[in-house]
A = this chain, B = another copy of it.
Amino acid sequence: MSARDKAISSTLGYALLGLLAREERSGYDLTQALKNPVGYFWFAQHSQVYPELARLETAGLVAHTLIEQADRPDKKVYRLTDMGRAALSAWLNADTELPRKRDELVLKAYSIWLADPAAAARMMREHAQTHAAHLAEFQSGLSNLEGEAGAALWQPDSPWFGVHAVLRRGIGYEREYSEWCEWLAQCLEGTEKGSP
């Protein structure tokens, strides 16, 4: 009844809690995790992570232990508290609003009729390749996971299942995006048949 009434944290807070639910980590580790495929759908800089961790600790959702290190800087290793676990659970059950998409490339596509078709096609091919590369990364990530996790990959109460679900989303997203770029490039090139 004390801290549960007001939704203490921003979405970033829950991203951090979700990572800490798996294992203890420092602010630095958390920031790294948000760069990897797993945190691919919620990015943050370290300058956002450290203050957020402080807020979560004030709210009693996480706690830290200072680890003194000889040849490296000391670090604060954070862990989830029982209240933190409860807050995470409550967030999972709450309604989720649709994200507002903002994609500059799609916005450019809307005005692409004003551009030089050949140059635009080249641009789209580049983006197709970028997304194809991301796709390949996710796919190899899933392969590795199969080796590591085995059957746990398909068990909804296993932490591996969470990674699995996110990777699947990444694979679908990048595949679709890459194909769209390719399709657009082909449309644009269709016009320029006679060029040498």
Contact = CB atoms under 8 A, between A and B. Distances in A.
Interface of A: 11, 14-15, 17-18, 21, 38, 40-43, 85, 88-89, 91-93, 96-117, 119-120, 123, 127, 130, 154-163, 165-166, 168-169, 172-173, 175-177, 179-180, 183-184, 187-188, 190-191
**List of 7 A-B pairs having minimum Cβ-Cβ separation, nearest first:** A41-B106, A18-B111, A109-B165, A92-B115, A172-B176, A110-B162, A41-B103
Given A92-B120, A117-B157, A38 B97 contact: no
B165 A112 contact: yes
Contacts of A177: 172
A85 B191 CA distance: 23
A183 B162 CA distance: 13
